[in-house]
Amino acid sequence: MIYLDNAATTKPCAECVRAMNDAMSGTFGNASSLHKMGTVSMQIMARAKKNLLTAVTGGKSAFDGNVLFTSGATESNNTALLGSIHRFHPIRGNAKKIVSTAIEHPSAASVLTRFEEDGLDVVRLAPKNYEDFTGALIDAVDDSTVLLSAMAVNNETGFKIDIPRLYRMVKRKNPKTIVHIDAVQGFLKIPLDGDLISISGHKIHSAKGIGALFIRKGAAILPLISGGGQQNNLRSGTEPIELIAGLDAAVKAYKGDYKQFAMLKNCLLEELSKLEDIGINSDDNCVPNIVNFSVRGVRSEIMLHSLEESEIYVSSGSACSKGKKSGVLDAFGVSDKDADCAVRVSFSAENTPEEVRILCEQISKTIERVRR
Amino acid sequence: MKEIIMVKYGEIALKGINKKTFEDMLQNNIKRRLKLIGQFSYSRNQSTIYIEPLDDSDVNIAVEALKKVFGIGAIQKCAVFPKDFDIVANNLGEYLRDALEDASSFKVEARRADKTFPMNSPQIQQALGDAVLDAFPHLTVDVHNPEITVRLEIRDVGAYLSAERITGAGGIPVGSSGKALLMLSGGIDSPVAGYMMAKRGLVVDCIHYISPPYTSERALLKVQKLCEKMTDYCGDIMFYCVPFTVIQEALRDNCPEEYFTVLLRRMMMKIANIICERDKYGAIITGESLAQVASQTLPALYCTNAAAEFPVFRPVIGMDKIEITEIARKIGTFETSILPYEDCCTVFSPKHPRTKPHIGDILKAEEAYDFDSMINEAVSKTTVQRFKYGEETVFLD
């Protein structure tokens, strides 16, 4: 099996599985229990938070804020967006602009659409229209901007935004603008910053069902889920200590290395250059672990299933859109025709150049079979 | 181009013949912090310590650590150039880009400590302003309210260019005033009191009283966490943990309820006295603030103070809660302090405590029982733990 769909999900690493197993079979106390067993679980959670706060910035200094554990990035994005806009509902009168992009994941984009229906102005910028996209987002922020929401790394192409610069400049322009970063694909890949940062566990070799929202000190949101008041009353419900332990272990054990990904991407581009009529949709401003390209004349789904026959797994654009046209590639300036035959390859640290070569061999064979 | 950190003295610049002792102490304190970050070399000149990274250590992380070292007046990151103005002018763009690219206004300041340098300060200032404008034509000069101040200092060993001056923690180096024992409760005030006395040069170690099962493991973890957080400013801290349950129970069973609070404070003082005497502390520090609670009224403080044999420092005595909270937030202890775990002070706390206790009544109440032997036993069962700067061992949510 050659698994090249790591932007869709990753294999839980051994460290994660072990940590989850330990937490389930050994220390299964409720973190809210005041006795020793509860305290042990609470400490597992506190340790995990500490580790995450350092990991998220990608630097040596920790993120100045707290971590909210969620069921995944969809909940993180919903909590960030709904939580901050609900909070500001009373002042909507003058502050009603939201700046975002045309390349957001549906878990953010659909919430933004709801805001639009509620009468807020949502500006969605498309990368194809700007040479300096980070700068364009900064320029779009003005006195009336209540929220900026942008993804750090696009899941379909790997396109990245200079997040530290974006955050610094937006705050300088309007300190009241809340900056939300959807960092599902950016976490552990590029430096991050923001008032609210969403991440997902299963994209970094942890289990599914766990994600987090980083909340900067001073950034206030309202909860989506009410109840027993866990997690500072921002997300009620007993904390899933085993999932949290697994996430913590996966972050610590994460091996993704920029250089290795760059080497794999170069290898892939080199192999693809030997084939005819290939369009590369992931340029130099993309993280190297995601490569989107179009094999003209072969529809994405046919390519996907053909590779599947040789146990090679890739994606046709975004896994979440399940064949539905997402419009994201269009926002990058990819033509409809090229989007129809787009393939996304996404690496993990376990992939090898040899696997890339086998992939390209199979692509070549598929082209021969299908392109007539 | 080399980037270094210039550390300028605070109060110790004003010291007389004993200045060197303070300087040595400050430099040692700095070294102890920075060795966790990387390798640095140190040199001193004209009330400034020059810190140069010897490996690829992150200067910004070092600056963050230095912000919490007492004795430092100001911190500047600088690029070092040869003492040739043309070289500085031709190369400043690269170094200042991060600071100036997104700024809108600036001013320049120049200082010529090396009087052999051919240009005087006003001339340097003029030429530097021109050079900055050449490199960043979008900027405007604003001498009254600049976004960024670009500084150039011509010193004996080189020309130092910087765009950022950070205010230091002030005070005098920890250790230069001796050592004292802080009564750390878990509330907001006592960590602030410890911080303030460390700022006056004291090594601050902590004493805490636990009363299980009336107080919980989490309450202890909370205080340990506070201790750990205080090491950012105070350096390493010894943590004394006193088992206090039997004393509290004896108070409950043998003394009038209305005096509990004051008697409790006196017992704590007596234990602290013995430890101060034994382990050579010169003073006791408390987070008492006048009239904040029943045990902190003037008559109550009189009664507590009467049990103390060492000087008692109460740096927050004249501050209100808002002022104290502001400092607690600044030093990062506030969020831990407000975690909802009870400490021993609230165990058996009377419904109507006496706010104007009389020392005669208090002494009489104490005679009701042989507290001295209990106090000695508590001291002998006291555990000691070291919290080291830069080490995180307590995890609490």
Per-residue pLDDT of chain A (372 residues; tens, 9 = 90+): 999 999 999 999 999 999 999 999 988 999 999 899 999 999 999 999 999 999 998 866 789 999 999 999 999 999 999 999 877 655 555 668 999 999 999 999 999 999 998 888 999 999 999 999 999 999 999 999 999 999 999 999 999 999 999 999 999 999 999 999 999 999 999 999 999 999 999 999 999 999 999 999 999 899 999 999 999 999 999 999 999 999 999 999 999 889 999 999 999 999 999 999 999 999 999 999 999 999 999 999 999 999 999 999 999 864 445 556 668 999 999 998 899 999 999 999 999 999 999 999 999 999 999 876
- The minimum CA-CA distance between A68 and chain B, rounded to whole Å, is 11
Residue B393: is it exposed, middle or buried by C-beta count within 10 angstroms (0-12/13-18/19+)?
A: exposed
Which of chain A's residues have a Cβ under 8 Å away from the Cβ of B224?
none
Side chain identity at residue B296, one-letter code: Q
Q: Look at residue B46 in the predicted model and tell me its pLDDT.
A: 80
Q: What percentage of chain B carries pLDDT values higher than 90?
A: 79
| Partner residue opposite A46 with nearest CB, options B64, B102, B397 | B397
Residues of B in contact with A59 (CB under 8 A): 58
What confidence score (pLDDT) does residue B343 get? 73
Task: Give tens-digit pLDDT for B2-42.
Answer: 899 999 998 998 888 899 999 999 999 999 999 999 999 99
**Two tokens, residue A240:** 């899933």
Cross-chain Cβ contact A36/B221 below 8 Å: no
Distance from CA of B13 to the nearest CA of A (A): 31
B318-368 pLDDT, tens digit per residue, is: 999 999 999 999 999 999 999 888 776 677 778 888 889 899 999 999 998
More confident residue, A318 or B186: B186
Question: d(Cα B188, Cα B223) in Å, to the nearest integer?
Answer: 11
**B395 vs A: CB within 8 A:** yes
Cβ of B397 and A49 within 8 Å?
yes
Contact state of A46 with B395 under an 8 Å Cβ cutoff: yes
- pLDDT band for position B238 (50/70/90)? very high
Nearest residue of chain B to residue A62 (CA atoms): B61
C-beta of residue A271 within 8 angstroms of C-beta of residue A344: no
Contact B102 A172 (CB under 8 A): yes
B256-313 tens-digit pLDDT: 999 999 999 999 999 999 999 999 999 999 999 998 888 899 999 999 999 999 999 9
Q: Which residues of A are catalytic?
A: 320
What per-residue confidence (pLDDT) applies to A322?
52
Task: State how far residue B58 is from chain A, nearest Cα, in angstroms.
Answer: 8
pLDDT-derived band at B156 (thresholds 50, 70, 90) equals confident
Contacts of A61 in chain B (CB under 8 A): 60-61, 64
Q: Largest Cα–Cα distance in chain A?
A: 71
A-chain residues near B217 (CB < 8 A):
36, 39
Residue of B nearest to A32 (CA): B397
B215 to chain A: closest CA residue: A34
Across the interface, which of A36, A50, A59 has its CB nearest the CB of B395? A50
Q: Are A138 and A173 in contact (CB under 8 A)?
A: yes
Cα–Cα dist A57/A60, whole Å: 8
Task: Output the 3-class SS for chain A.
Answer: CEECECCCCCCCCHHHHHHHHHHHHCCCCCCCCCCHHHHHHHHHHHHHHHHHHHHHHCCCCCCCEEEEEECCHHHHHHHHHHHHHHHCHHHCCCCCEEEEECCCCHHHHHHHHHHHHCCCEEEEECHHHCCCHHHHHHHHCCCCEEEEEEECECCCCCEECCHHHHHHHHHHHCCCCEEEEECCCCCCCCCCCCCEEEEECHHHCCCCCCEEEEEECCCCCCCCCCCCCCHHHCCCCCCCHHHHHHHHHHHHHCCCCHHHHHHHHHHHHHHHHCCCCEEECCCCCECCCEEEEEECCCCHHHHHHHHHHCCEECECCCHHHCCCCCCHHHHCCCCHHHHHCEEEEECCCCCCHHHHHHHHHHHHHHHHHHCC
Task: Give the one of B60, B102, B217 whose C-beta lies nearest to A39's C-beta.
Answer: B217
How many Å separate Cα B310 from the centre of its chain? 22
Confidence at residue B315, expressed as pLDDT on a 0 to 100 scale: 98
- Tokens representing residue B72 in the block: 């430092």
The predicted structure's pLDDT at residue B336: 93
Exposed/middle/buried for B380, CB within 10 Å: 0-12, 13-18, 19+?
A: exposed
**B392 touching A (Cβ < 8 Å):** yes
CA B266 to CA B306: how far, in whole Å?
8
* pLDDT in the model for residue A93: 59
Enumerate the residues of chain A whose CB falls inside 8 A of the CB of residue B147.
Answer: none
Q: Is the pLDDT of residue B157 over 60?
A: yes
Give the other-Cβ count within 10 Å of B276's Cβ: 22
What pLDDT does A319 receive? 43
Among A39, A66, A231, A239, the residue to mutate for chain B (most B Cβ within 10 A): A39
Q: Verify whether the Cβ–Cβ distance A39 to B218 is below 8 Å.
A: yes
Chain A residue whose CA is closest to B58: A60
The encoded tokens of residue A248 equal 């913590």
Using a CB–CB cutoff of 8 Å, tell me whether B257 touches chain A: no
Q: What pLDDT is attached to residue A86?
A: 77
Please tell me if residue B221 touches chain A, with a CB cutoff of 8 Å.
yes
pLDDT tens-digit series, residues B204-218? 999 999 999 898 889
Could you count the other beta carbons within 10 Å of the beta carbon of residue B211? 23
Among B58, B392, B397, the residue with its CB nearest the CB of A42 is: B397
Closest CA to A256 of A294, A220, A206: A206
pLDDT, residue B340, reads 83
Q: Residue B181 pairs with which residues in a beta bridge?
A: B205, B284
Task: Please give the pLDDT value at position B347.
Answer: 75
Task: Give the span between the Cα atoms of A115 and A146, in whole angstroms.
Answer: 12
Report pLDDT for A320.
Answer: 43
- CB-CB contact of A286 with A159 (8 Å): yes
- Is residue A121 within 8 A of residue A179, CB to CB? The reply is no
Peptide bond connecting B353 to the previous residue in cis, omega within 30 degrees of 0: no
